Chains A and B, each alone.
Chain A
Amino acid sequence: MGRRFGPAPRTPMADTSDYTAPSRVGILARQSAGVLISLAFTFLGLLLVTFIIARVVPIDPVLSILGDRATEAQIAAERTRLGLDKPMIEQFGIYLWQAVHGDLGVSIRTKQPVISEIAQYFPATLELATLGTLVGVLLGVPAGVLAATKPGSWADQIVRLIGLMGYSMPVFWLGLMGLLLFYGVLDWVGGPGRLDAAYDMMFQFEVTAHTGMILIDTALAGRWDMFSNAISHIILPASLLGYLSMAYISRMTRSFMMNELGQEYITTARVKGMPERRVIWVHAMKNVMVPLITVVALSYAYLLEGAVLTETIFGWPGLGAYITDALLVGDMPSVLGGTIVVGACYIGLNMVSDLLYKLVDPRART
């Protein structure tokens, strides 16, 4: 309320007539430059740390590909071919130089360009994480609101219990039980993998992979049989991830909402006789949205990193399993490439949530 009656915001333009305001373009350019420089440093730090960690773990990538039978000469030749005989700092320099030129190198393990591997695995993760987050938000926010409006009630207790289970039950156990029940016994959903075997073969040759996301590609191709098969396969892992993020989102929503409901403007609204639904979902929710966006963005980013165990159980060829496998065999180009994508996701989501703040909070628009 204070905002409306406070002094008018002071801008340089209003202050003095002879003050020359920097042009909008100038401000924008300076801001963008700042953002870009900080981005560059973030990436550099991220890569450097990953690079060093990968080099200190006692896994010899050459031994892991050549195996036990390789001769010393073959090992030495492979080491030279991969550039591993150079000093570490030089290796890092070479990597950076190539990365800046859009070349993330070639996977030591599979010999495929890392860029094309990521183009293969990331869409699968993106599809799964997006659906998972959607489920998490659609269930988590109402559950949190419900719990906040009736603290201590049975509804609150149930939400708390569900949240606690989501936090504490091992995801591989939940996944396996889910598979056993919904796929094994009830036959409601498709099994592990992104499609049934028959559709899998058809998809490879009959559908153009515009995005790599099966739901979108099949929809674009008008292959609704394949689309519905893909839905039946993604729904269980997505619900599982959705449940995990719901647990987090509902707890956070509850605490944000309880905080808002104690504010004076809510009392005022109630006193004015506004219907409770409107008070909660319009007045309070508007303010809850701001911190909630951060929570949702973080949980989305977390899922985009890849849910290794979920991917393993559901035979889902996603980014998490990709990075983990690569790390275990010392396949550095793949690990670094994956890290860049994850880093980019975090940064991208941060920018999106900044944008959303502006949408929901007028204060952030200036």
Chain B
Amino acid sequence: MSFEPALRRVGAAAMAALLLGAAPTALLAETPADTLVIADAIDDIVSLDPAEAYEFSGLDVVNNLYNGLIELDPTKPGELVPGLAESWTVSEDGLTYSFKIKAGLMFASGNPVTADDAAYSLQRVVKLDKTPAFILNQFGWTKDNVDQMVTASGDTLTLKTDKKYAPTFLYNCLTAGVASIVDKKLLEENATDGDMGYAYLATGTASAGTGAYVLKSYKPKEGYLLEANANAAVFKPVLAKVLMRHVPEAATERLMLEKGDIDISRELTPVDVEGMAGNAEVKIQQDVGGQIFYLSFNQKNENYKNEKFLDAMRWSIDYQGMADTILKGAMVPHQAFLPKGYLGALEDLPYKLDVEKAKGLLAESGIKDPTITLDVRNASDRMEMAQSIQNTFGQVGIKVELNIGDGAEQLKRYRARQHDGTLQSWGPDYPDPQTNAGSFAWNNDNTDEAKVGTLAWRNAYDPGPLNAAVDAAVQEGDAAKRKAMYEEMQKTHRETSPFIVMFQIGYQTGTLANLSGFYTGGATDSAAYWTVTK
């Protein structure tokens, strides 16, 4: 009895709350005019320190908070533009590069930008040695020598390399997020145990750059807020704020976009895109990213060294059919290891489904009733692709058994050369063709112990003359010659290697109709928020 009145009071309060919620209350359905509101799945972020950030979502943030010496400008695709460096030169012998830092620039903190900051930033990456450090280590930099290889004097930064490389190779690598220039003074003030401000940046406490925005707050798996940087050094932002909300569910994002509660949705599926056709208040922006999807076969199995058999498989895949029926813009057919957007990328599509031709090639190969065990990640798009492949291979007379499993587990098998065939994806690491050439077509020691780690090595594939071609291309000083070398390399590779590149990823971004200037970064770069207007 004694609790009854209490219960009644609680009940009344709850009813009031229910009614309050049900009534159309002060809903700010429209996003604030000076703020860009984006919904995306951002739980892949591991770190917001440019020396460590290496996931799509993390690099998007870094791209808007920091600048490099050289930049990619979203409004000038394919062009290298000055970032914090105003000019750069390379010595006769091709071993020494000089960068002149622009005068009068300031970090968001108000500290001046100097050549010393630039040297510190690059040395810091090598010393911290996080995953993306290899992008800079390629130039022969190590923890022990980096203080001599990367030096600053006055307004000039000098970079030395261990051997001669194509200058474009170095410049392209310097546009990557890992080569962002950070505020030395601020980081040293916030360093703990000599970590060069790593903990401070990695956990998203603050940012320390010259980019269009500064980091105002970051809550993992919840979102982040960026605010315009008054000292923005290279790109000036249009909108004052960017609010990212972590919304992992595509259907939910679509609903929010159609209601005008967000400006941009980055997780749409082809089904959502179809469903929004005819809605004049939203539009779909379609472009391609850098990730490519491919089949590869482990050459420890002798069958996969048989060129006729490999060729039979190339003609047994319904590239266009998959693109039209199941992938619908989420991927587009692509048949070379360099994604569209890269220097030298081949865009022709020589292979299509031709069951009769494939049957003939299979007969010529002399391989009877082949069976392939194909490792496939348990993601719905990949499983659908695998089923299509299983079906068309079956028509040709090649039996495919699918081994579906968790991504991390399959990656482990792949890295240990334990798979038979696998359906995989690969994203380039930096905007230079070497990133894929050096992995798909380079393996200088095909033994198990060597652990070369490249994709070629994982498939026990010895690229033979391609090794030399890759090494030559990365040192070629003439950009046009370099381009031709990559084209030639891709042709040889797709005709002889145990790799079958099938698709390049497509980005389908939903935005409100009044919004323009959003740039996803395409194949070579990360997202730019500073260009957006609404």
> Please, could you name 8 A-B residue pairs with CB atoms under 8 Å apart, sorted by A?
A67-B55, A107-B220, A117-B220, A180-B255, A193-B245, A199-B28, A201-B243, A360-B3
Identify which of A74, A180, A232 gathers the most chain B CB atoms within 10 Å of its CB.
A232
Q: From A77, A180, A231, A329, give the contact of B17 (CB < 8 A).
A: A231
Cα-based distance from A193 to B253 in the complex (angstroms): 11
Q: Could you tell me if B249 and A197 are in contact, using CB atoms closer than 8 angstroms?
A: no
Within 8 Å CB of A228, what residues of B?
Answer: 20, 25-26
Q: From A74, A77, A184, A329, give the contact of B258 (CB < 8 A).
A: A184
Shortest distance in angstroms between B461's beta carbon and chain A's nearest beta carbon? 17
Cα-based distance from A135 to B14 in the complex (angstroms): 8
Chain A: residues with Cβ within 8 Å of the partner, total of: 68
Segment from B75-83, B126-134, B159-167, B335-343 that makes contact with A: B126-134
Cα-based distance from A188 to B23 in the complex (angstroms): 6
Segment from B108-116, B169-177, B407-415, B475-483 that makes contact with A: B407-415
Chain B, interface size: which category? 35 or more
Per-residue interface assignment for chain A, residues 184 to 215, with 1 indicating a CB less than 8 Å from any chain B CB and 0 otherwise: 10011111110011111100100000000000
Within 8 Å CB of B55, what residues of A?
Answer: 67
Q: Could you tell me if B406 and A120 are in contact, using CB atoms closer than 8 angstroms?
A: no
Within 8 Å CB of B411, what residues of A?
Answer: 63, 68
CB closest residue in chain B, given A58: B409
6 closest Cβ contacts across the A-B interface? A235-B21, A110-B220, A315-B247, A317-B222, A197-B37, A196-B28
Cα-based distance from A155 to B408 in the complex (angstroms): 52
CB contact under 8 A between A74 and B3, given known A58-B409, A183-B259, A184-B259: no
Q: Could you tell me if B258 and A315 are in contact, using CB atoms closer than 8 angstroms?
A: no
A120-B222, A197-B31, A201-B241 given; 13 more Cβ-contact pairs under 8 Å: A58-B409, A72-B453, A134-B10, A138-B11, A187-B29, A197-B243, A197-B245, A197-B261, A204-B217, A231-B20, A282-B1, A315-B39, A317-B221
CB contact under 8 A between A192 and B256, given known A72-B451, A112-B220, A198-B31: yes
Q: Could you tell me if B10 and A315 are in contact, using CB atoms closer than 8 angstroms?
A: no
Per-residue interface assignment for chain A, residues 165 to 196, with 1 indicating a CB less than 8 Å from any chain B CB and 0 otherwise: 00000000000100110011001111111001
CB contact under 8 A between A325 and B129, given known A63-B412, A225-B26: no
Q: From A71, A117, A231, A312, give the contact of B21 (CB < 8 A).
A: A231
Q: From A59, A176, A239, give the contact of B409 (CB < 8 A).
A: A59
Within 8 Å CB of B18, what residues of A?
Answer: 135, 235, 239
Shortest distance in angstroms between A362's beta carbon and chain B's nearest beta carbon? 12
Cα-based distance from A183 to B245 in the complex (angstroms): 18
Q: Does A48 contact B (CB under 8 A)?
A: no
Shortest distance in angstroms between B263's beta carbon and chain A's nearest beta carbon? 9
Cα-based distance from A286 to B403 in the complex (angstroms): 58
Q: Does A314 contact B (CB under 8 A)?
A: yes
Q: Does B511 contact A (CB under 8 A)?
A: no
Per-residue interface assignment for chain A, residues 58 to 75, with 1 indicating a CB less than 8 Å from any chain B CB and 0 otherwise: 111001111111111010
Chain B residues 20 to 68 lying within 8 A of chain A, measured CB to CB, are 20-29, 31-32, 35, 37, 39, 43, 45-47, 54-55
Q: Does B248 contact A (CB under 8 A)?
A: yes
Chain A residues 7 to 63 lying within 8 A of chain B, measured CB to CB, are 58-60, 63
Shortest distance in angstroms between B59's beta carbon and chain A's nearest beta carbon? 12
Q: Does B387 contact A (CB under 8 A)?
A: no
Cα-based distance from A299 to B439 in the complex (angstroms): 53
Cα-based distance from A24 to B153 in the complex (angstroms): 80
Cα-based distance from A135 to B1 in the complex (angstroms): 21
Within 8 Å CB of A66, what residues of B?
Answer: 131
Q: Could you tell me if B249 and A313 are in contact, using CB atoms closer than 8 angstroms?
A: yes
Q: Does B252 contact A (CB under 8 A)?
A: yes
Identify which of B17, B225, B251, B451 gathers the most chain A CB atoms within 10 Å of its CB.
B17
Shortest distance in angstroms between A178's beta carbon and chain B's nearest beta carbon? 11
Q: Does B199 contact A (CB under 8 A)?
A: yes
Chain A binding surface SS class: helix
Within 8 Å CB of B187, what residues of A?
Answer: none
Identify which of A107, A200, A314, A360 gathers the most chain B CB atoms within 10 Å of its CB.
A200
Q: Does B525 contact A (CB under 8 A)?
A: no
Q: Does B203 contact A (CB under 8 A)?
A: yes
Q: Does A111 contact B (CB under 8 A)?
A: yes
Q: Does B191 contact A (CB under 8 A)?
A: no
Q: Could you tell me if A109 and B247 are in contact, using CB atoms closer than 8 angstroms?
A: no
Q: Does B246 contact A (CB under 8 A)?
A: yes
Shortest distance in angstroms between B467's beta carbon and chain A's nearest beta carbon? 20
Cα-based distance from A176 to B220 in the complex (angstroms): 24
Q: Does B300 contact A (CB under 8 A)?
A: no
Q: Does B202 contact A (CB under 8 A)?
A: yes
Within 8 Å CB of A120, what residues of B?
Answer: 219, 222
Within 8 Å CB of B451, what residues of A?
Answer: 72
Identify which of B18, B54, B225 gathers the most chain A CB atoms within 10 Å of its CB.
B18
Cα-based distance from A107 to B46 in the complex (angstroms): 10
Q: Does B322 contact A (CB under 8 A)?
A: no
Within 8 Å CB of A322, what residues of B?
Answer: 221
Cα-based distance from A297 to B29 in the complex (angstroms): 37
Q: Does B262 contact A (CB under 8 A)?
A: yes
Q: Could you tell me if A198 and B32 are in contact, using CB atoms closer than 8 angstroms?
A: yes
CB closest residue in chain B, given A286: B1
Q: Does B183 contact A (CB under 8 A)?
A: no
Q: Could you tell me if B54 and A69 are in contact, using CB atoms closer than 8 angstroms?
A: yes
Within 8 Å CB of B46, what residues of A?
Answer: 65, 109-111
Q: Does A321 contact B (CB under 8 A)?
A: yes
Chain A residues 118 to 145 lying within 8 A of chain B, measured CB to CB, are 120, 131, 134-135, 138
Chain B residues 229 to 282 lying within 8 A of chain A, measured CB to CB, are 241, 243, 245-249, 251-252, 255-256, 258-259, 261-262
Within 8 Å CB of A239, what residues of B?
Answer: 18
Within 8 Å CB of B256, what residues of A?
Answer: 191-192
Q: Could you tell me if B28 and A198 are in contact, using CB atoms closer than 8 angstroms?
A: yes
Within 8 Å CB of B11, what residues of A?
Answer: 138
Q: Does A88 contact B (CB under 8 A)?
A: no
Q: Could you tell me if B132 and A317 are in contact, using CB atoms closer than 8 angstroms?
A: no
CB closest residue in chain A, given B254: A184
Q: Does B375 contact A (CB under 8 A)?
A: no
Q: Could you tell me if A69 and B412 are in contact, using CB atoms closer than 8 angstroms?
A: no
Cα-based distance from A322 to B43 in the complex (angstroms): 10
Cα-based distance from A314 to B134 in the complex (angstroms): 39
Within 8 Å CB of A229, what residues of B?
Answer: 25-28
Cα-based distance from A191 to B134 in the complex (angstroms): 43
CB closest residue in chain A, given B410: A58
Cα-based distance from A229 to B259 in the complex (angstroms): 16
Q: Does B432 contact A (CB under 8 A)?
A: no
